[in-house]
Amino acid sequence: MATNGESEQNQTHRHQEVGHKSLLQSDALYQYILETSVYPREPESMKELREVTAKHPWNIMTTSADEGQFLNMLLKLINAKNTMEIGVYTGYSLLATALALPDDGKILAMDINRENYELGLPIIEKAGLSHKIDFREGPALPVLDQMIEDGKFHGTFDFIFVDADKDNYINYHKRLIDLVKVGGVIGYDNTLWNGSVVAPPDAPMRKYVRYYRDFVLELNKALAADPRIEICMLPVGDGITLCRRVN
């Protein structure tokens, strides 16, 4: 029979292996938030999609349930109507957004993998929300460049959520700052990157964490110095930085 110490070690190791999202001081505190605030109020469609996604081999990429709740609330608070999402995966954050928007709200959703998106699509359709979504398969940067070139999309988005390739976050920001309206919000996910942003360079890290760490650090530094935005970095999920365009 495992001792308490051994059990705690196994628990820690398990969370490291699946990319535990919470940066709180204890798993018990995070679980308290989920069980007290998040799960009791989670829409049935989001619960269903969360459970479907949990069975996928890359479930580490999904938005955490507490972050999904946060995004849903935020979108309602800012009365968002025209939004964009870069990096969709199976669509948990996309569903949180679609639920928050009015019936005539729109989401331009982009991801390089349609197959993952289609795992969640039946649930989104069953919830009667697919008409809000314009899904584009493929890299987002060419789409953004075309939108900027067209000219008519400047300052038209109320909210943009980015949870995609971290090595392009800076490139996304250079374009999105023109597409989000003054007073609108861009949310960059994973800006605390498994806590690695404060880890020594020689600290043991999984390969993908180490590879993207410098890109996340570069983004965080750039956002802090950008006079066009106000920022707020929150320890929700794996860290999310909200950027409100001020000019």
Q: How far is CA 237 from CA 29, 84, 209, 210, in A?
A: 13, 20, 15, 19
> How confident is the model at residue 12, as a pLDDT?
41
Is the overall model pTM greater than 0.85, yes or no?
A: yes
Task: Give the number of other CB atoms < 10 A from CB of residue 33.
Answer: 16
Q: How far is CA 10 from CA 14, 31, 151, 176, 204, in A?
A: 6, 17, 54, 42, 18
- Percent of the chain having pLDDT more than 90? 82
Residues 6+ apart with CB under 8 A from 130: 121, 124
- 31-82 pLDDT tens trace: 999 999 999 999 999 999 999 999 998 888 899 999 999 999 999 999 999 9
- Percent of the chain having pLDDT more than 70? 90
> How confident is the model at residue 9, as a pLDDT?
47
Q: Determine contact, residues 54/120, Cβ cutoff 8 Å.
A: no
> How confident is the model at residue 194, as a pLDDT?
87
**Average pLDDT over every residue of 183-208:** 93
Give the whole-angstrom CA distance, residue 58 versus residue 113.
Answer: 12
- 3-42 pLDDT tens trace: 455 444 444 433 333 334 566 768 888 899 999 999 999 9
> How confident is the model at residue 61, as a pLDDT?
87
DSSP state of 168: G
Which residue ranges form the domains of the chain, and what is each CATH number?
Answer: 21-245 (3.40.50.150)
Residues facing 108 on adjacent strands: 84, 134
Residues 6+ apart with CB under 8 A from 20: 27
Q: How far is CA 107 from CA 13, 21, 59, in A?
A: 37, 25, 23
**Average pLDDT over every residue of 233-247:** 95
**Average pLDDT over every residue of 186-214:** 93
Q: How far, rounded to the nearest angstrom, does the alpha carbon of residue 91 sit from its chain's CA centroid? A: 10
> How confident is the model at residue 13, as a pLDDT?
38
> How confident is the model at residue 220, as a pLDDT?
98
